[in-house]
Structure 1
Amino acid sequence: MNVFRSAKTILPGLKANRGATFFAFNLLLAFLLLLVKDPWGCFQDTYSNSDPFFPLKESDIARIKVGRKGEIVSLSRTLDSWEVALPDGTTGPGDSERIVELLKAAVSLRKFTLLVRNSTFPSPEFGLSEDEPSLEIFDTSGKSTGILFIGSSAPRNSGVYVSEPEGRNIWLVKENLKTLIGNGRKDYFLSHSLFPDRFSYGKIRSLKIEFPSDPKKGFSLTSADNGWILSTNLFSKSVEQNTVNDFLEKLLGFKADEISLVARESLPLAPQEKFQIRLDTDSGTKILSPFGKDRQGSWIFRLSGMKYELIVDPWTMETILDKDLADFTSSPSVKNPVP
């Protein structure tokens, strides 16, 4: 009786509001069509919709441990960058690009393709043994949110085999973790930058490049109220702001060709090979000068506070050391000032 009574109450209302009824009916049809079509894959059983191994956002990750047993490398987030700690206690600034790439992959890992449940150990067919590298993620509270053992790459570049320590379930993930962790290289996440703390310099006041064997070749750039002043031992004049910005951006972006964790045999530099780059900023002074050269003729740099060496091929910095000073009077496109 209640159903009939409700119907008698509702039907007159629907007849009186046919426009609203028609709209509601179309809205219901559209919703049903959305469920069937699922254009965004929201209701599909797909890789991206599966449960994550690490249920975190990139910004929630404060530390990463990666590497083989006994060779674990720790990546720790600082205020505006990352610091790397090697197993022997060596520390240094991290390569932000490589670490961020690993972060993106870590939060994208999904439990979609389960290959083996409760696997036996070891599982050499998946590259899982006592020697495989691991990946462990920590949140901002310092708590570990999980660990994965990284096996071999699957055929046809279809992904990488991973295993969970609990249950020993073996999964296939899309992300190429082997490449993202540098295939086990301990120095992979160390920054190759010759100016690794460029983001903490503050405003640049001056830059000076000196060549002891040829004083005429040296020059300096000094920040002034209306731009920059180029000075040599022959002249001093105002120069284009944009050209200076390009030059400083290129200088601060230079990276070593190689990192050496052990001290190389160092040969003395010839007088014409010696130079010094001095960068003065609001927060201090940075001096860059090669310590010596190896048998291949590459420069060896030993930066302050670092135990390892940065190796640079001489021709890598030709655009800086052999700069044509006439270029500073050109008029390139406008660029924002380098901080």
Structure 2
Amino acid sequence: MRLATFQPQHGVHCETTTLRNMLHHAGVGVSEAMLFGLGQGIDFQYWDTPAPGRVPPMLTGRIEPVQVSRNACSALGVELRESRAPDADTAHAVARELLESDHVVGVSVDIFHLDYFTSRSHFAAHHIALYGLDDTLAHVVDTEQQGGARSLPARALRRARASDEGFMPSPHLYLYVEQVPERLITDPASVLREQIWNAVRLTAERMTERRGPRHGVPALRRAAAEVAGWHETLTSPEETVPGVGRFWRYAGTGGANFRTLYRAFLQEARQVCRDDGLAPFAEGFGDIERQWDRAIEMLMAYPGAHGPRQLHEVAALLEAIADAEQALFEKLAVAAAKRAGEPV
């Protein structure tokens, strides 16, 4: 079974690429950056490591998996269905049934079992869009970095979907779009204008709330404080420290630990809303994006001749980023609170 009219839509982040493909096949043409922004995707989260000293904590620049899709679909008035199959056979059968009903199916997978991935690590919070499946072959869309539209053995997809290893596993989780408002197909710009500032407001309010040491700006400050000592606290910093930099740059982030993607959302939002009030925020995120890139480059260059000094410089830069993000989101919260209540 393979969707005859399906047209792959490329993207830089796995979940928003998957959602974009599901929506596009249903007739909705919304960009990936817009989906990420409406999905309130930006964050900083600190997840404790299961092996202190051997590996650093998981430090990610977005909200929890699937929540981006839930938020974006809610903003767009789209009915998103989400469920888990009890086992591999049922998951396979349900996917076939949904494909036969002309749905693109979003599935969560462990990248370790995807034969086109070069990484040999378990990471189970990855998403791909499934548009074809039989007993031997699966047709999927992954991120541009992973080659976009790909084919892989059906047995590999079964293993990837069933995995309970790695970060945030969700065995046999699947998503699909059930109902799409007609207005979203015929006049998407109006729908977006009605929702953009509210999504910005909700994001800014969340980013300026105190949510403990694992979320938002406090989590970023916590990470900054620990980075400075990684040359002493990690058993193999020459291996693990550059890995953090590569993760922030390449692991489904679209660059700069998702800050590039959020800046693209603000730029598009300015055009859609025809509101120059968004311009300074897009510019501000440009500065933040460049600071993230500098920190990432320094991490990826470790160990150099001055490895410990590099980490202290990265820590100082992350503190500066935390200050900049705090200030920018505070201003965004004020601007969005005014705009969200205005007629479009």
Report the TM-score range of the alignment, normalised by the length of the smaller protein.
Answer: under 0.3
| TM-score for the superposition, normalised by structure 1 | 0.22
More strand by share: 1
Larger Cα-atom Rg: 1
| TM-score for the superposition, normalised by structure 2 | 0.22
